[in-house]
Structure 1
């Protein structure tokens, strides 16, 4: 009787303490205590180690013992499986004892065969997409919502073949959406623009121009996957070749300010060019037109694949030159 009372069974009804546990909390098991845990595999650390999350959202690290019995539930005894056949999304029942690390050293793993086939099918579709997204976004995150989709699929499998198929189709749609997002990583759109103006024959930034560039840098700090395009221009006074060199110095002055003042990485400066007198925005025959043409245009572009909700916003530039010399 005392031996039976020492068996601590962890199932759906864990008790008041575990009911309040936060989702994703790792349970620390008592060394030598016997446990039985039911839940879904939410992470594979290795072929012999995985994380099981129970119905109240508490996680347990499970380590498979070398002599562990891994079988499907079957009235005829069940088939044996290698430990690497267990995948995320599979509902399992594991039995064993707590070890010195607080994990469950399991000697018995049981699961439903149809549930395993569904989980393996989804894993085969999701894992390649997960690897592609990780590489494209510099190992920044997983496929969004993947674990929730797998848990939904595994739960649906127990409800019948039709429910499982419907959920699997939804998971495939999610993978397709992820593939579309990866394809859009190189699709850059304008998030905001700014224009700064210069005095005659000058490439020196005015206080007003610096304030406008400060706004560009502040916006860039809130974005991922952005690039900055800088183009310089000049009015038509003077020599065309000298004006081209002047427009390039103006563009360089803007880049120097963004890099030295706001630590914008050089890899974020996508394009820089001096157009000289080309592409005027106003009539060079008027004083106001020449003032407008002595400018640098700054475009902040973002990757549509990384930033899903982007919109073009116009940032008004200030005319720094009010006296023509």
Structure 2
């Protein structure tokens, strides 16, 4: 009979609950046809395939030859079969049936015992299994576990299930928003411009002035009142400096305005087209004068409504 330590049991418990089913269970596919037999007892060969068994295990185990005792952690389940992994890494496939006695021990000196059903055999649960030979398979005659281990496995499994459910709900919600946005703007290259505001910057700077901050939030509120409105943010520079510097500066200006609109003015990110920097392109005024260059150091924020959704 093998012995499993508490420390090793906890390590296997954590691993079993954190990882998907492995080995024979992970690869099994439903099959049609006659029963396939697999050798009984522990094995390490991950190329083995769990046999498909048709019919229920017998409820009367009398007369069946005794099998090995197996001790370890349940690392997978598939119908009426469990996979028990021992501390040495060996994996044993064991069937569970109506004749299997499942008991948990607890209380003072572990003397109190409760009889349980097969549903109590959770992944990650340390168990000690007495077996009998059923054809070329192993059938559990008795499964012993500790009540505290069952409580721990149940709490972890319940918490994991809740976490997956919450994450799944969030993913579905985000997917619905994205799908709605794709439905509104996919394959559309024409928009009606409903309004434009410009914010201006000092030479080489991308900080927002107090006036610019106020104007941006006022403009966002104006856009919010329009159905199906999107914002497009485009940054520009004057001709001072190299192209590389101006390109980076125009992108920084566009990014600064975009962040402010989303973080301070409450504009939803999914209602904004991708911001871009255009360097010295599309000047608003003559770069030959200081006044003209001041007008070109800007970010233009445009309210756009797709022609295909306007009026919906």
TM-score where L is the length of structure 2: 0.39
Please say which structure displays the higher CA radius of gyration: 2
